[in-house]
Amino acid sequence: MTLSPAPAFPPAAPRVPSPDARRPAQLPAEQDLSVWPRSARPEPDGDVTVGGVSLAEAADRFGTPVYVLDEQEVRDRCRAYRDAFPEADIVYAAKAFLCRAVAHWVREEGLGLDVCSAGELALAVTTGFPPERIVLHGNAKSPEDLSTALRLRVGRVVVDSASEIARLAALAPTDARQRVMVRVVPGIAAGGHLKVRTGTDDQKFGLSITDGSAQHAVARLLDQPHLELVGLHCHIGSQIDSVKPYVAAVRRTVGLMARIRDQHGIVLPELNIGGGHAIACRPGERSLDPGVLAVRVRAELAEGCPRAGLPVPRLTLEPGRAIVGPAGVAVYRVLAVKETAGRTFVAVDGGMSDNPRPALYGVRYAPRLIGRPATAAPRRVTVVGRHCEAGDIIADGVALPGDVRPGDLLAVPASGAYHLSMASGYNLVGRPPVVAVADGGARVLVRRESLDDMNRRDVGL
């Protein structure tokens, strides 16, 4: 992470197409691979290969459910952000999905890391990830989170509450100054679901610009001798498919920076505009193009900062889902097919324990039969999981071949983010493995959680 502020942005670079923008023309739904990794190829026998690896063979080799992660897709998406924002710091949001290999990939591609706990931080540094390129934030950091970050001297700690300032100041070492940012709430409603909108004043994250909480936090931080306030942080939500909310957020945070300058006589050199960039989970859905975002944000800063009498701050972005989400494919095996009250339910061997997002946010996916050719016309079905909840639904009202049957394989694209990172041990069903594919080879990144793993945690009788 660059620690000194950069000069004003250079002239806008040519628009860099995102990986999503380089897709083939629309195909019939049963053939459409537009939301799959770009390496995905349909095979004559009904299979699909990703990274040169047969998904059906991966299911046989590693068992199901299994999450397949295309390494090159992850790297390409890192590069798309670096190309779109060459003057900014890009930090990968580890909460989307973190394992040692992913930390290694994003580091090699020149990205920093955004973590929310001592656990994520510890995993990252064990890979050799430089702590100075790590940002720690979260709405309720524990003493362990803060002390670990201070001990390792992470690049930035994002302050989220007044009480956190006191805790951080009490823990800060006296031989150095910890760089901090203030997470501000700009009063902007954006996001794909009410539960992922974090830019309004009626939710748990950040400090409001409207009621003065952000300004009060700035004043308190400036009084702390071992904390160095370097900028503002503003994350407004998730699954945002329009650049307009980001432009509005930049405008409001620049306005706050001007007021801080007027009140305290300091110019904050950095602005972190978070992430939350939408991906398409089904053909036809919109994703956010980082190239378009770069042009619009750059233009807003180039116009708004001189108007406010400020230099253009060093920009940071925190994409997570947009990097790893489209790179993942979940593969399940069908356990049962059942007709009930005019509906067809296709039950698979996973569900909400490895992907809670449909139950939490109503996310809809586009499963595809793999491993054999379709021999019947498609019909509408509901793909459900194996767990003891009526809301354990993976995909509702989707078209699958009318002869889908137990033993078949279903692949669900756009599954790389917020599936395994939010997975649970519900019904004591172990979490699936993660398998990386690249250049025709496959290797396990995270092994399957076994019954023995879960039993070892239960030490009482």
Annotated binding site for pyridoxal 5'-phosphate: 276, 318-321, 418
Concatenated DSSP letters for 62-92? H-SSEEEEEHHHHHHHHHHHHHH-TTSEEEE
Q: Let me know the angle formed at the C-alpha of 156 by 214 and 279, rounded to the nearest 5 degrees.
A: 85
CB 392 within 8 A of CB 70: no
CB 450 within 8 A of CB 430: yes
- The first and second tokens of residue 103, run together, are 């930390």
Enumerate the β-bridge partners of residue 43: none
Q: What three-state secondary structure class fits 259?
A: helix
Strands 134-136, 112-115: pairing is parallel
CA-only gyration radius of the chain, Å? 23
Q: How far apart are CA 459 and CA 461, in angstroms?
A: 7
Q: Is 281 a catalytic residue?
A: no
E strand or H helix at 228: strand 227-233
Q: Let me know the angle formed at the C-alpha of 460 by 456 and 461, rounded to the nearest 5 degrees.
A: 120
- The first and second tokens of residue 268, run together, are 């904050």
Instruction: Give the burial string for 107-118 (b: 16+ CB within 10 Å, else e).
Output: bebebbbbbbbb
Q: Which one, of 327, 274, 224, 265, lies nearest residue 88 by Cα? A: 274
Q: How far apart are CA 219 and CA 266, in angstroms?
A: 11
CB 364 within 8 A of CB 356: no
Q: What amino acid positions are annotated as catalytic residues?
A: 388
